[in-house]
Amino acid sequence: MRIGGAGARGSFRTLTILSVSKLTDVPKRILIGRALRSDKLGETLLPKRIALPVFASDPLSSVAYAPGEVLLVLSVAGLSAYHFSPWIALAVVVLMFTVVASYRQNVHAYPSGGGDYEVATTNLGPKAGLTVASALLVDYVLTVAVSIASGIENLGSAIPFVVEHKVACAVGVIVLLTLMNLRGVKESGSLFAIPTYVFVAGVFIMIIWGAYKGIVLDETMKAPTADFTIKAEHQGLAGFALVFLLLRAFSSGCAALTGVEAISNGVPAFRKPKSKNAATTLALMGGLAVTMFCGIIFLAMATDVRMAENPGEDLLHNGVPLGAGYVQDPVISQVAAAVFGDGTFFFVVLAAATALVLFLAANTAYNGFPLLGSILAQDRYLPRQLHTRGDRLAFSNGIVLLAGAAALLVWVYGADSTRLIQLYIVGVFVSFTLSQIGMVRHWNRHLAAERDTAKRRHMIRSRAINAFGAFFTGLVLVVVLATKFTHGAWVALLGMVIFYGTMTAIRRHYDSVADEIAAAEERPDEYVRPSRVRSLVLVSKLHKPTLRALAYAKLLHANEVEALTVNVDPAETKALKEEWERRGINVPLKILDSPYREITRPVIEYVKNIRRESPRDAVSVYIPEYVVGHWYEHLLHNQSALRLKGRLLFTPGVMVTSVPYQLQSSEAAKKRARKRQEWNAPGSVRRGPVEKRQKEPAAKNN
């Protein structure tokens, strides 16, 4: 019988981990930076100027494609339908202001970072909260996929290689963003701030300069597609068909609202006063997004931009289709060409900033998804690993999970933003609606207990804002479902159902395990204290590791100590027995016969027999281990003890104890481990402190 191989295998596994860790530690530090201590969490909090690009890059960048989505849908009815675009823009503006005003109430009432999930769970119940969480998780994944795909298409208009390898380039950008976010929220926010502000400044300069040229100088600005005509799929729509088309165009324009909820989820990441800074950032984001969205829509109308869902067939030049080789530029690119001139300095800067900010728009999801995943893990709806902070105090596991899901979606849909955007915004309006309904209940509950007149007046005003928000977003949700269901929204709904079912199953599992292992209140000794403890020391040869294991087992004063060996070689077994008697070891040696030269089965059967004869007795099995220092040494030792350990773990009432014996070669592993500790400071962060969520009264927060 060979016992001790498990120690070799165990030490090999440890050594392998140390070696791999050492090899990967240097590039890891280069890519994501040095590890941060848990008490440095406060240094990662964001000022408003950094929080804006971190949490609002999605709604700010959506102005690069939302106006185009409106025109694409209207093009179905031909150019005559374009004159509805300002009214659709106005409806989107009203909705944006409503949602921003509503979420300003949220961040004051629930500043803990739970956002829509916490609001819905607290006021509408766990099922509503889980529905909101499912919707948000789906929407965050889609945010990354749509933003990256749209950015690739913008960049592809200038670089043909990108268009030819859309999927590979999109996945590459996702990997790059993942690495940047693994460096930490504050550091990634600083990197993203410059292109975001350049984009915002560029759009405002374009709007102001375009208005000046058109109104003051009375110049005629023409987009590159101004001379094209559109072949309408359904000419002269009227009645219900026209209303349905306008509603569909409105629902596409609502893509400008995606990401608004991320600020309410990210309140803990703001500097103090957190709620006030988050509310201010929300207002600033709403004002910037609305101004840019409206400005681009009106400039698109003034410069005669033409867009079509199938540009090669539906866009005509002198009555001839442009053909399949035609690449349709986004609305913002066509407007910039009309205002600044194609190829000019400002045009190039804005085009580059637009492509870059669309990539960075995914950063909203990279901050929202991991934080929400952490809260859900804390509530036992997701694996607990998602509640773990990485080296840079970011929720690394959530970041990696988001990246994987988004990359899969990009691959499945071929990085086509037109196909992906049909799945978009369903989830966000589900969360908008349930969150606002929850806020109405929140104010009703507090109004029932509040007697102060001034505070009641404030609560009534807040309730009115949330009630209008619930009605408006609920109406938009119905419109989105009605107009986009067959165009791909059903996929988003299916994703929500899958998330909901998975999280419910995970919570059921955690609850089941908690019930199973809960300590009994009435008779705690029944499960903790066995009637007797019987110790078994596994022996292969009589050497130093065996003697150490025997000494350790006797030291623990069990009721009965017994040495156990398996007879697979009669000569070796006879020699062991003779030496045992010669040394006068005062521990009985039990020899198990094994006709088929097995080691694991005889030991397992013997232990089970002991348990059957005395069910209330505990059996403690001691296994001597060799600790080696080189990877190749484990090949020279038997692995039977490892298999034996695995089997014993599934035997009730059995405890397994490894008794290590360090060979000289283990010193090499110790030195390597010591060097690694010097490089990567002890206490590398794996689970940083998470601010405790408190549901304080709204009056106190305000």
For the segment 502-523, what is each residue's pLDDT rounded down to a tens digit? Answer: 999 999 988 887 776 665 555 5
CA atoms within 13 A on the CB side of 137: 31
Residue burial 305-333, b: 16+ Cβ < 10 Å; e: rest: bbbbeebeebbeeeeeebeeebebbbbbb
Cα–chain-centroid distance for residue 260?
17
Q: What is the pLDDT of residue 131?
A: 93
* pLDDT tens track for 188-197: 556 667 888 8
Distance of CA 31 to the CA centre of its chain: 19
- In this prediction, residue 158 has a pLDDT band, given cuts at 50, 70 and 90, of low
Whole-number Å distance between alpha carbons of 463 and 574 = 87
User: How far from 121 is each of 64, 132, 571, 612, 666, CA to CA, in Å?
Assistant: 34, 9, 70, 49, 53
* Collapsed DSSP state (helix, strand, coil) of residue 229: strand
**Are residues 628 and 666 in contact, defined by beta-carbon separation less than 8 angstroms?**
yes
314-368: pLDDT as tens digits:
788 887 888 877 777 888 888 998 999 887 888 888 888 887 887 777 777 887 7
Q: Left (φ > 0), alpha (ψ -120 to 50) or beta: where does 359 sit?
A: alpha
**Whose CA is closest to 338, among 213, 253, 198, 199?**
213
Which of 23, 40, 68 is CA-nearest to residue 394?
A: 40
DSSP string of 416-442, one letter each residue: -HHHHGGGTTHHHHHHHHHHHHHHHHH
Residue 527: helix, strand or coil by DSSP?
A: helix
d(CA 329, CA 327): 6
Query: Is the pLDDT assigned to residue 695 strictly greater than 60?
Result: no
Q: Is the pLDDT of residue 693 over 50?
A: no
- Residue 615 burial by Cβ neighbours in a 10 Å radius (0-12, 13-18, 19+): exposed
d(CA 665, CA 669): 8
3-state secondary structure of 561: strand
Q: How far is 432 from 550, CA to CA, in rounded Å?
A: 66
User: How far, in Å, CA of 74 to CA of 245, rounded?
Assistant: 7
pLDDT of residue 21: 43
- Is the pLDDT confidence value at 82 over 80? yes
Q: Is the pLDDT of residue 424 over 90?
A: no
Domains annotated on the chain, with CATH: 49-507 (1.20.1740.10), 531-679 (3.40.50)
| Contact of 44 with 186, CB cutoff 8 Å | yes
Place of tokens 């601010």: 691
- What CA–CA distance (Å, rounded) separates 16 from 63? 50
Does 205 have pLDDT greater than 90? yes
Q: Which residue has the tokens 């869902």?
A: 309
Which helix (H) or strand (E) segment holds residue 481: the answer is helix 453-484
